[in-house]
A and B are shown apart, each in its own frame.
Chain A
């Protein structure tokens, strides 16, 4: 009897285990669905040109009051085929945008996020369902438009992955080599161009590409040697925003756009800025070999002539203005002035041919001033000597101030004053240059003059 009960009990247990096991494995599918979905293919539309797409917006662009315009939805099953010429993925000068270019022109694409496409990507962009609008009369292709806080309408960003297919990556891009004058025409709008032989204007000297501190976009003026200019617009977030503009002349590559009638140029990659050459109009001034004595009275120079003397140098390190000759009462002399220069800073050096200083040499010269405008303790000119100036790099040389009598604010205008004898340093087998360094600006614009510079052996 007891055994029977035990057997019954065991059977019960087995039944229970069977039921539970069944429960567990029959109904227990409960995993997260992580099976990849079937692959979806990108189906391009009919390939059309940038010009054809732009044409869809021509009617809107013709409306002069931009607040009356409205973005146009593209309903044609079209696609663009082109190469990416600029992108927010390089150097940060663009934000959520890229430029595509085909044989007919370039177009700005705007995205809902960082574009994720790179310079040199060859892409197909399905434009059906996208919208065309403009920003300051420059086309942009994006997503569904929306109203901004001020009530104006703007195209939204497109989803790159939904609209674009990268066919290949790392393709070369070929900027059109044009002049500034050529670039300032509708033919090059949105296109990648390269200017050669250009420089930032003198007024740009000492400025950075943009305001990196407050991350503010800035405009800078670029010119060629014919003084044709275009604005270079750079984002405060870009990699180069805090760097000084190049001071030389050379080539620069970027995209041409327009904002309300003003042509602009946007650098796409700061590695492509190569502006280290000699600026327009600047004459080569090789430093001469050392001489025993010097004597220069500037006679022979006409009014407003640039002062170029063989073996001497006349160099602007800030502001682009150099020493000019002036003639008064048949006397010629050198003058530097910030007057009407519009310069934030003007620094210009008149550097003599080297003189040997194995024995004691004495410097004499005359100075005059006019229209004193320097304030406080600021003085327009310094006289400096250097024994290690190599003729190229002023900043690298060691400059020793020389003490001389010079025309002061209290002296009468236009009157030349003798410097007195200024002893140069003595160093066996060495030579020295003497620099007359003018420092001023548009506001501190005192005119300062020098004449009758002479270096002679002491006691003669």
Chain B
């Protein structure tokens, strides 16, 4: 199953395979040019730098070209009705105008042969080629927009794969490209590559920014936006602007991974009702959505509401129930032609069973690469131990103000609050109850007879191969125990059944206020200045709650690891000295509890100049971030360093970027972006062990990012496509992880600092129109995502504050994990004029690396790396997807039925990623094999939508 790399040298790119030599040479050349330009910029004195940039921006200022006018009407191909609000752009994506109520439009264009792009939500893009004569009006007549094929219409049909990292953080595959983007690369990345946890350009999730009506919804502590926060509200999240990289989309300093601006103003929705029912075997079996929108009423009010329910006993894996209700309400009042107010409230409430990864030994034992260790039978019925839940309402109030035709000011205040978390088993005085615990697997034993015995039990007894809930209740119901001086009260003794197994809820609740104001000012023809201010006040509350005592009377809140190390020191093993020997019951907090505080302010601005054949932008931001921890428990092991507020961390950070495009003709264009920025470390990486104490990560620094990309865009009537080369360097990153160290028998914190990474490669996508109905598309993402430094590691253990060692992790030129570094797709799509469509896409993935274990790549006491090994790599994979759909119009009712059939060849051997376990036994390395995840086998998503 595993392919290990035999050698790994710095300049060894033989592994690239499909790249080809020329691509490689280009990559290198680009990287060199970029770095030298960067060093040139950095070595200039400040004032010179500013002058240089200003020159760059305005040097070729006012070469105004002769212009002509183009007129036409936009109609729906399916219904022949005029379409209002369609967006008309030129080849560079600059907005020229919008269609009126009757579908008509008039736009001004430079003379010569030009391309017009017409975009509208739910409709396919239309491209019109027109010859513009200076000073004259060209009539192009009716432009028909076909309704978009069903598979492109629905974000919910995109597979959002979810995994867990070793320390329980949520991971997800989709990277801010969830819009029906006209860019074939972007849509393929979302719809096809999504099923293998593809991450665009290999960037981590926190390098993109998602805002909802101006409220940035990235999670503060981990930096990533979680799509589950508005899951099920697909029909009201479609009006969005997406950038694939740092190019400006008019809100904040768009980060290196791009930005998504979702607009939920009630007036943007088309009036009418829309109902959707979906059936699937992916994340959930059933989904129903109902959306109603008034459009802008005569009273100048607009209201849109949406409700959705997603439910079912099981998703793709066993033991993954789904129970979600999502609500959305947006109310807008247009006060006058200059002022509008919008209030949006949404809440995606869910509870669902999560599927977990396992080792290949376990998958083989279970005979199923989709075995899920998180569930078992309780009285004959399936119960999941890992239930993720969320109830986080978001309220935003936006004021949209147009003081003049040239000025546009939008101000948003928002409040986000509520609770989220995931449950997990906890246990005391019993063998690890997880079915895939290594001592319960055949691989732990030496003799054939034992191996056969365990294998048989695994394959015949579900109480062995799954969680044995009934036994938990049995054990808890008869474990009589007396707690003396309960709660620290002298003489207060409590006798009852002390639970040995419990379900705890590891909560992360939030309370976040955000205020931002942005102004966009068209200074003069072609010149725009957009900027604003954002203030963010966040408090997260991380704590454990007893979710289910499983038949016992109480759980005693002590630290088991410390109890074993200090059996005669009852002070040391208290989780909370302020409340010692606490017998907790359901709903009570225990284990750990702390606030995460973070406050930030951002000042940002972007200047854009659009000339005849080119566009340039210059963008900058300054950001201030303060963060601190407040412990709500006094931990026995750290009595002086766990309760109360930590030191306050302050990080001033900044960023500058510049870029633009140049049009050779309307059909050929070059786009480039360059960026330098610093970022504060993430909260979760700023503390060594935030669950237990206030200790800061040593040598904490701001990270720095250099990035650049250049694209060639072709937009001919037959072929449209884009090819981009990119290079990004991340420096001074910090990562903190905690895990149980087998040799030392304690929880250990690994703080890696001085992490440098390099991500570079090429992404290309092309669509070729064979006939008006038949299209072929090809997409390639060829990347090299590397760790390029040997980070410093500080190792501390949780049962004292002593630094165990400070070493180097020998991982230079290891690959980043969690995404295929090579992804290719080839598809054919047929769009019949009789309102049906079908397509088939084949995709190929390679260079999928597993996350490495730093423990085995760290120097031991004698200065050697006795357990060092090459990084593990998964086999390449090939998947085929099919989509079909048809739509009908019955009077005013539109009915669309579509099916998205993924992995129709039912390939069950494609590993999407995984990680080496941190537990490591040098004597028997096979005991702790890596945990891996497989791409789903055949799966489907069938969607029926009805619209009035």
Contacts and interface: CB of A to CB of B under 8 A. Distances in A.
Interface string A6-33: 0001001100110010011001111111
A165 to B, nearest CB: 6
Given A16-B275, A24-B288, A161-B479, A32 B351 contact: yes
Contacts of B353: 32
Contacts of A149: 446
B391 to A, nearest CB: 15
A170 B429 contact: no
Contact of B478 (A37, A42, A112, A157): A42
B288 A113 contact: no
A146 B430 contact: no
Interface stretch (B130-138, B375-383, B878-886, B908-916): B375-383
A427 to B, nearest CB: 45
Contact of A33 (B378, B474, B495): B378
B273 interface: yes
A114 B286 CA distance: 45
Contacts of A168: 480
Interface string B300-341: 000000000101110000000111000000000000000000
Q: How large is the interface on A (under 10, 10 to 19, 20 to 34, 35 or more residues)?
A: 35 or more
B450 A20 contact: no
A328 interface: no
A352 to B, nearest CB: 42
A378 interface: no
A92 B480 CA distance: 21
A32 B286 contact: no
A24 B286 CA distance: 9
B430 A113 contact: yes
A47 interface: no
A460 interface: no
A2 interface: no
Contact of B470 (A40, A146, A147, A270): A40
Contacts of B253: none
A161 B478 CA distance: 8
A20 B288 contact: yes
Nearest to B480: A166
Contact of B286 (A27, A35, A239): A27
The majority secondary structure among interface residues of chain A is: loop
A3 interface: no
B893 interface: yes
A16 B322 CA distance: 24
B772 interface: no
A30 B473 contact: no
B425 to A, nearest CB: 14
A91 interface: yes
A39 interface: yes
A148 interface: yes
A199 to B, nearest CB: 24
Interface string B407-444: 00000000000000000000011111000000000000
Interface string A154-173: 00010111100110111000
A151 B447 CA distance: 8
Interface in B467-495: 469-471, 473-475, 477-482, 495
Given A20-B290, A112-B431, A31 B500 contact: no
Interface in A411-425: none
B309 A162 contact: no
A24 to B, nearest CB: 5
B445 interface: yes
A34 B383 contact: yes
Interface string A167-196: 011100000000000000000000000000
Given A16-B946, A33-B378, A114 B429 contact: yes
A17 B430 contact: no
B717 interface: no
A239 B567 contact: yes
Given A36-B473, A161-B478, A147 B551 contact: no
A37 B378 contact: yes
A383 interface: no
Contacts of A118: 481
A161 B430 contact: yes
A90 B570 CA distance: 12
Contacts of B197: none
Contacts of B481: 118, 169
Contact of A170 (B387, B479, B482): B482
A116 interface: yes
B277 to A, nearest CB: 6
Given A24-B309, A30-B312, A147-B447, A16 B273 contact: yes
A394 to B, nearest CB: 29
A19 to B, nearest CB: 8
Interface string B557-571: 000000010011000
A259 B568 CA distance: 28
Contacts of A37: 378-379, 469-470, 473
Contacts of B387: 32
A429 interface: no
B290 A33 contact: no
Nearest to B566: A239
A261 interface: no
B449 interface: yes
B364 interface: no
Contact of B893 (A12, A91, A151): A12
A225 to B, nearest CB: 31
B446 A148 contact: yes
Contacts of B286: 23, 27-28
A144 interface: yes
Contacts of A157: 431
A337 interface: no
A29 B892 CA distance: 34
Contact of A32 (B321, B430, B495, B948): B321
Contact of B568 (A40, A147, A159, A239): A239
Contacts of A40: 470, 473-474, 477
A29, A144, A161: which has the most chain B beta carbons within 10 Å? A161
B453 A144 contact: yes
Interface string A31-58: 1111111111010000000000000000
B179 interface: no
Interface string A372-385: 00000000000000
Interface string A382-414: 000000000000000000000000000000000
A126 interface: no
Given A31-B321, A32-B351, A33-B378, A39 B479 contact: no
A160 B428 CA distance: 12
A70 to B, nearest CB: 12
A115 interface: yes
Given A36-B473, A37-B473, A116 B430 contact: yes
Interface in B333-389: 351, 353, 378-379, 381-384, 387
Contacts of B450: 146-147
A33 B273 CA distance: 36
B548 interface: yes
A36, A38, A42: which has the most chain B beta carbons within 10 Å? A36
A270 B567 CA distance: 12
10 contacts: A20-B277, A30-B323, A32-B387, A34-B383, A35-B379, A36-B550, A38-B379, A159-B431, A162-B474, A165-B478
Given A32-B321, A116-B428, 19 more contacts: A9-B892, A13-B273, A20-B288, A20-B290, A31-B323, A32-B387, A33-B378, A35-B379, A37-B473, A38-B379, A39-B477, A42-B478, A114-B429, A116-B430, A160-B430, A161-B430, A161-B478, A161-B500, A239-B568
In the A-B complex, the 9 residue pairs with the closest CB atoms: A116-B429, A161-B475, A147-B447, A37-B379, A30-B311, A113-B431, A33-B381, A239-B568, A33-B383
Interface of A: 9, 12-13, 16-17, 20, 23-24, 27-40, 42, 89-92, 112-116, 118, 144, 146-149, 151, 157, 159-162, 165-166, 168-170, 239, 270
